[in-house]
Structure 1
């Protein structure tokens, strides 16, 4: 059965509703030490504020080993009434404690694929130990990461593991592109070399590399293009976000667009006095997108496209 796999169970894609297609409720990375998203109460408040504006779903792209607090996700989703899709997968090596990185590297390509598959089909591991306790909530996507303008050996191994997990389950693969770069390298590797259908590839952070010609080429492949904004850490290109979306829509690629907030720090949460936070996506960006592209295109970006991007005929 084709379904979107949430932390509370599988749902019909048509029930996903208005979706923040790339964000974080919980995450901890060395680059943002002291700004960890690790407060369940704040996550509930932030998600509830998103829900009050009509938000119905959020996809958390936090992968294995980065403080995703898997055991908290079902309660946060249930309390807010907002669907949550969780991720398995791995980020760049630099974001991991050396001891954990060594344990993960020791698994090898097929061992990593087995880890991803188990989290997609059996349940998310509740901590940072690959052999740790497993909860009932399952991942609904795989998150991996490229490098700045290229792919190193480890990145290729992790992406090969993600492709293997995709072929075993059907799960979509979302990619962190460092400042939006190397998207074509990733698409070539996953789609052309590893056989992942383009429609199962979600190319993230493309607003950070606002190249209209490249965006059109990527969209023409059939992959989904995920734009985030605004971002406290990458605000230099935020002003180009709407222009990027307008240019892709004008080229006939409205059906390939996804939008997310990508909140990665405690100071970026609206519920704790910072911001812009989850509500900004619907409070500010949705009206602007509706005005610029029309109501039909806005519905595609926030409702129809996420329902297709995260829908899987689970194997």
Structure 2
């Protein structure tokens, strides 16, 4: 039976409720110095704001070595009533010190499996997905290493694999590797940031492979992608791929939180949802927010 692995234990997919399928409560990286998500009080306030807007669950894609603060997540989940899912995995090399990456060579899949099954460090929190990342219009050597380990961990556990597509590019190369060469079923792969490169041909081909398409934003750079997104989602639905869609907020920097003056997690429900309802109708949008995340992130855990 499929279950979603949350920070408070496994739950049935239908128990998630309205879900932000890609976001971050905590995140730190050498690339984002001075804008790290490190404030637990701000994370709690953001979750409360999301809850007040009608949200019930958040999937945090922050992977290994990027300040996940896994020990804080059960506390936040209980305090706010918002279900949380935590990630293992590894982002692009730019987000890590070289010595950390060197220490993981030869044991990356082992780390992923351990965090999915035994828990993250001594926290007792088990990860519920594997987050990896592609390169710009390519699968570079680092991405091939991390995706190979992710596929091995998937085959050992059943865990879904969520992929950061750099500026929304490289989706088909990622699928050639994960689903073709490495044998991961399409419906176990979630492609993030497809809205950042609104290519309808690529989006339809990716959906045709059976994977999940995550439209997560709003964009921090190319704002044309924001007004194109509803049309892209409608086109996919009209092409028969309405059952492959996910929505997320992807709050990466501290200034993007709603409690710090940015759009934050509530934006997904306050602004994105009504715009999509106008394009798709309430029934499909409700399924994208409430039904699809449970299917995408559920697994028959091995």
Query: TM range, normalised to the smaller chain?
Result: over 0.9
Once the two structures are superposed, residues 28-78 of structure 1 have per-residue CA deviations (whole angstroms, 9 ceiling, x without a partner) of 122221000000110011011101111111000000001111111111111
1:122 maps to 2:122: no
Choose from 281, 298, 310 the match for 2:268.
281
Is this contact kept in 2: 1:259–1:302, CA < 8 A?
yes
What is the match of residue 212 of structure 2? Answer: 224
Q: Distance in 2 between matches of 1:234 and 1:34?
A: 23
Gaps of 5+ in 1: 126-133
What is the match of residue 80 of structure 2? Answer: 80
Give the 3-state SS of the residue equivalent to 2:240 in structure 1. coil
Q: Distance in 1 between matches of 2:230 and 2:114?
A: 38
Once the two structures are superposed, residues 149-171 of structure 1 have per-residue CA deviations (whole angstroms, 9 ceiling, x without a partner) of 11122211110100000000000
Choose from 136, 147, 159 the match for 1:159.
147
- Tell me by how many angstroms 1:233 deviates: 4.3
- Tell me by how many angstroms 1:101 deviates: 2.1
Query: What aligned pairs does 1:161-180 form with structure 2 within 5 A after superposition?
Result: 161-180=149-168
Q: Distance in 2 between matches of 1:238 and 1:275?
A: 15
What is the match of residue 131 of structure 1? Answer: none
1:47 maps to 2:43: no
Once the two structures are superposed, residues 212-264 of structure 1 have per-residue CA deviations (whole angstroms, 9 ceiling, x without a partner) of 11111111111000111213345342221111111111111110000100000
What is the match of residue 186 of structure 2? Answer: 198
1:22 maps to 2:34: no
Query: What aligned pairs does 1:235-250 form with structure 2 within 5 A after superposition?
Result: 235-250=223-238
Give the 3-state SS of the residue equivalent to 2:288 in structure 1. helix
What is the match of residue 214 of structure 1? Answer: 202
1:310 maps to 2:297: yes
Once the two structures are superposed, residues 242-288 of structure 1 have per-residue CA deviations (whole angstroms, 9 ceiling, x without a partner) of 1111111111111000010000011000112x210000000111111
What is the match of residue 128 of structure 1? Answer: none
TM superposition score normalised by structure 1: 0.94
TM superposition score normalised by structure 2: 0.98
What is the match of residue 293 of structure 1? Answer: 280
What is the match of residue 34 of structure 2? Answer: 34
Is this contact kept in 1: 2:58–2:85, CA < 8 A?
yes
Q: Distance in 2 between matches of 1:201 and 1:119?
A: 19
Q: Distance in 2 between matches of 1:118 and 1:233?
A: 36
Q: Distance in 2 between matches of 1:211 and 1:231?
A: 15
Is this contact kept in 2: 1:232–1:268, CA < 8 A?
no
Is this contact kept in 1: 2:219–2:225, CA < 8 A?
no
Is this contact kept in 2: 1:231–1:261, CA < 8 A?
no
Is this contact kept in 2: 1:7–1:74, CA < 8 A?
yes
Give the 3-state SS of the residue equivalent to 1:58 in structure 2. strand
Aligned pairs, how many? Answer: 302
- Tell me by how many angstroms 1:98 deviates: 2.3
Relative to structure 1, the CA distance from residue 252 to residue 12 in structure 2 (aligned partners, 3 Å threshold; closer, same or farther) is same
What is the match of residue 109 of structure 2? Answer: 113
Runs of 4+ aligned structure 1 residues displaced above 4 Å come to none
Q: Distance in 1 between matches of 2:28 and 2:116?
A: 22
Is this contact kept in 1: 2:31–2:94, CA < 8 A?
no
